[in-house]
Amino acid sequence: MLNIIVTLPFLSSLLIALIYLGNTNAKRFVLYTSLGIGSLVIITTLSLMSLYDMMQGAATIHTKLFEWIHLGDFQIEVAFMADRLSIIMISFITFIGTLIHIYAAGYMKDDAGYGKFFSYFNLFMGSMLLLVLADNPIMMFVGWELVGLSSYLLIGFYHQDAANIKAANKAFMLNRVGDFGFIMGLSILFISLEGHGFSFDAIKANIALIDYQTLTLIGLLLFVGAMGKSAQIPLYVWLPDAMAGPTPVSALIHAATMVTAGVYMVARFSFLYIQIPDIGLFIASIGAFSALFAAIIASYQSDIKKILAYSTMSQLGYMFIAVGLESYSSGIFHVFTHAFFKALLFMGAGAVIIAMHHEQNIFKMGALRGELKLTYITMFIATLAISGIPPFAGFFSKDAILVTAFASGHYAIWTIGTLTAGLTAFYMFRMLFSVFHARKSKAQRVLHPLPKCMTYPLIILAIGSTFAGFVGVNGAYGGENFIAHFLQLPDISVHLSHSSEYMLALLNVSLALFGMTLAYKLYGHRAKEAQPDTLFKKVIINKFYIDALYETLFMKPLLSLSRFIATTVDMKIFDGFLNYSILFYRVLAGQFIRLQNGKVRAYALYFLLGVSAMSLFLIYKLGVNL
């Protein structure tokens, strides 16, 4: 079953690619759609079936596709494993991925590269499933890299515009920086295990063989990989630029695949991270800082997709707070709920963008709530969910994280998290009110109609965003935290009285309501774009000049080094040496070239000379006496 789940998207991707390459101009809408979505529907069904089995108490599934490398004791198998963690992951990845595919069929309908798009899209899903279901870190790394590749292909999908290609390259290269850390971590892990097997189970069993310092190094390096994939400080700059891709791609990257890979990886290596709480604290600090940082930037952005991108980064920060503080199940729980509302937000934003004829500035929209009623309602639900208003999904997961931070005594992280929760409500409702409530900026406009396949997934996701939180209701609210019991991850156990939990929740909710009210006051009627008039605003609108800083710190020196190598080292030293070594032949050839002067008479003379020389030689050899 797992074999099918992983290989089917790759197969359909290959098939679509072959058909598409057969004739790139043909319009085969029905064929591509049925192949691309059909395969996903099948794997979603299979995933949900496995989830059901596991809920009934089935054991961890191991399957082996084939043996990849076998050199003596060293062997790498293409094998898959579905334990409780990965089953939860693939269930929502495939489910939300399918909805996004259906949505994309409407969004990309008129695009010339429709087949190519669906091929990449299925590749993306397959890569993510490979990453999640891998049985050993090597296969996980293969999936990890494939996710990076397919995100590159999709971000640069509108390749006619050079800026999009630049964004795709940026995403790819920053991910390479992270991947370097990741593969270094894996290599050190492999060497330290001294050949005791390299599947996750084997590593877990032999983790005691590695001393504390090495473990710390491994944990840190693996987290560098997670920083790149999950867009945390300092490797986050690619995420806002990744908005250059089509909106379904953003939804897929931000909701179901890619950015959650880092959180998943930390949760997958939870047995390792639980040994090194210092690194965990470092992860949590990075997460908290990223969450606040992204929220501040998002409050001053005016591109609807950029706002959502920074909000993803902020929410990922929460997830890293959770996994860093060893509350793995609440981190995964937030991944789960976040997938619903973030997919919904992106798809709603995509619907708005399509309706507004590809306008992305929220301050040029306004007063859309009457015309796009369904989109408005669903996006409102998603915004409530991300802001942590009960009983929507985000409340329970965010609350679980903040309670962990508070109860484990990390008050600084808790303060930042709570502040960010208020800010989140502010900037999300700022976006919502600017788009749907504020006075319209242009008097007349005609909205582009939305196809049904773009609106129905919104309804399903809105239901998910409302109710997904109930799988993780903890004791204080009368639930029994089903998801944490199901996942069986090595969570830290925190104890906090119910009354203090209520106090914390009350604080969060009141902060969120405050942010919401403030947003309504400022943007509910007349939305104005933020102007960089004070130094403070200027710094924030320019995203703290981090991009410029990276450019001067890394890009410019690298570029001048490359230029130096290209023009001086390569041209003068290497080429120069080669040119010098063939100088003799060049001179000789210059002399020989004179013989070939094109004159028939000269050729006849050479002929004469040749025949004479041959005759003389023969006479000499035969010993004829003249």
Partner 1 sequence: MSADPFFLLVAILFSIGLIGVASRKNLFVVYMSIELMLSSVNLLLAILSQVLGDANASVIALLLIAVIAAEAALFLAIITHLYRENRTLDSDRFKNLSKVR
Among 358, 452, 495, 594, binds partner 1 (CB under 8 A): 594
Among 449, 598, 621, 622, binds partner 1 (CB under 8 A): 598
Least separation, in Å, of the C-beta of 578 and partner 1?
A: 23
Per-residue contact track with partner 1, 114 to 153, x per CB under 8 A? ----------------------------------------
Does 604 bind partner 1 (CB under 8 A)? Our answer is yes
Cα(43)–Cα(352) distance, rounded to whole angstroms?
A: 30
Q: Find the radius of gyration of the CA atoms of the chain.
A: 30
Nearer to partner 1, 56 or 591 (CB): 591
Least separation, in Å, of the C-beta of 156 and partner 1?
A: 47
Q: Nearest-5° angle of CA 518, CA 521, CA 526?
A: 135
Which two tokens mark 434? 């600017």
Does 608 bind partner 1 (CB under 8 A)? Our answer is yes
Does 488 bind partner 1 (CB under 8 A)? Our answer is no
Query: What is the identity of the amino acid at 510?
Result: S
Does 586 bind partner 1 (CB under 8 A)? Our answer is no
Nearer to partner 1, 358 or 594 (CB): 594
Q: Which stretch binds partner 1 (CB under 8 A): 394-402, 423-431, 447-455, 591-599?
A: 591-599
Among 71, 593, 622, 626, binds partner 1 (CB under 8 A): 593
Q: Which stretch binds partner 1 (CB under 8 A): 227-235, 480-488, 536-544, 600-608?
A: 600-608
Among 605, 614, 616, 618, binds partner 1 (CB under 8 A): 605
Does 600 bind partner 1 (CB under 8 A)? Our answer is yes
Cα(193)–Cα(210) distance, rounded to whole angstroms?
A: 7
Among 597, 620, 621, 626, binds partner 1 (CB under 8 A): 597
Residues near partner 1 (CB under 8 A), total: 11
Q: Which stretch binds partner 1 (CB under 8 A): 31-39, 221-229, 539-547, 604-612?
A: 604-612
Does 596 bind partner 1 (CB under 8 A)? Our answer is yes
The burial class, CB within 10 Å (0-12 / 13-18 / 19+), for 213 is exposed
Least separation, in Å, of the C-beta of 624 and partner 1?
A: 15
Nearer to partner 1, 358 or 599 (CB): 599
Among 580, 599, 622, 625, binds partner 1 (CB under 8 A): 599
Nearer to partner 1, 560 or 615 (CB): 615
Does 621 bind partner 1 (CB under 8 A)? Our answer is no
Least separation, in Å, of the C-beta of 580 and partner 1?
A: 24
Which two tokens mark 244? 């250059």
The H or E element that residue 462 is part of is helix 452-467
Phi, psi of 528 (to 5 degrees): -120, 140
Which two tokens mark 551? 């450019």
Contact assessment for residue 98 and residue 42, using Cβ atoms and an 8 Å cutoff: no
Nearer to partner 1, 561 or 604 (CB): 604
Nearer to partner 1, 558 or 605 (CB): 605
Phi, psi of 80 (to 5 degrees): -120, 150
Nearer to partner 1, 370 or 590 (CB): 590
Contacts of 80 by beta carbon, 8 Å cutoff, 6+ apart: 2, 3, 6, 61, 62, 63, 64, 65, 133, 134, 135, 139
> What does the chain come to in residues?
626
The burial class, CB within 10 Å (0-12 / 13-18 / 19+), for 440 is middle
Contacts of 623 by beta carbon, 8 Å cutoff, 6+ apart: none
Does 601 bind partner 1 (CB under 8 A)? Our answer is yes
Contact assessment for residue 288 and residue 259, using Cβ atoms and an 8 Å cutoff: no
Contact assessment for residue 267 and residue 489, using Cβ atoms and an 8 Å cutoff: yes
390 preceded by cis ω (within 30°)? no
Least separation, in Å, of the C-beta of 605 and partner 1?
A: 4
Least separation, in Å, of the C-beta of 171 and partner 1?
A: 52
| C-alpha 300 chain-centroid distance | 24
Nearer to partner 1, 30 or 593 (CB): 593
The H or E element that residue 74 is part of is strand 74-82
Cα(123)–Cα(323) distance, rounded to whole angstroms?
A: 28
**Residues within the interface to partner 1 (CB under 8 A):** 593-594, 596-601, 604-605, 608
